[in-house]
Structure 1
Amino acid sequence: MKTYSFNKEERLKSRKLIETLFRDGKAFSIFPYRVIYMPTQLPTAKYPLQAGFSVSARKYPRAVDRNRIKRLGRESFRLEKQALLSAMQAKNLQAAVFFVYLDKKIADFSTLRHKFSVILNRLEKELTQA
């Protein structure tokens, strides 16, 4: 049975891990997102993948717009992550991922969901290849 959730434990909140991710992680871009990822070894991690989302305050000065973009991104990720998670569990991998929104306008949900399926397929290839 598939569980379409995005729990508190799946969110990337550790400041130390985020700083390490931005300093040492690898990245690729699939418009409208820049994806920064890094394999991790978290002994207490219940979930194999932790994800964070970011939107530039310079491009979107209104918090309402930033929050909407992050909400759409989290929802798209939540619905599309199953294939990546099953591949990571099969190979016993763990990773931290950060999604940075780059576009100057707010994309609709269907576009973001399609882009997340493409992003997560590429991320699966990158993580299982390494």
Structure 2
Amino acid sequence: MKFTLTMIFVVLAQFTFADENGSGKKTADENKAQANGNLAPLNEKVLRTNKALKSYNEEYLVAPDNKAFAQSPEGHWNFRSDRVTVEMAKEDALAGCNKHVRPKESACVIVNVNGEWVQPPQ
């Protein structure tokens, strides 16, 4: 009986503490991002929507390098990764983001490159 209860506890503990990749361990990219302090700040001046913040933390940070994250002041966003060059990633992220920009709205700008925040033009 003790053995069964112990095994149930161990299984539940592993399940409870496992992260999204199911291993209970962070990936190398997640550790790198956390060590560099690159988890997105909850700051409307950087990422304007909850969907953008979630995508940044769950998808963008663990995506392969040569990546860029673009966003418009109205909250449209897009990112591209695993490009041949960083410049290609920037171009593709801007193109994807600007597809959603309506007339009279501001164009998208790059806000992050390879996990590093970029100061948008003022």
Q: Relative contact order, CA 8 A, sep 6+: which one is greater? A: 1
Above 0.5 in TM-score?
A: no
Task: With the length of structure 1 as denominator, give the TM-score of the two structures.
Answer: 0.25
Q: Which has the higher strand share?
A: 1
Q: Which has the higher helix share?
A: 1
Task: With the length of structure 2 as denominator, give the TM-score of the two structures.
Answer: 0.26
Larger Rg: 2
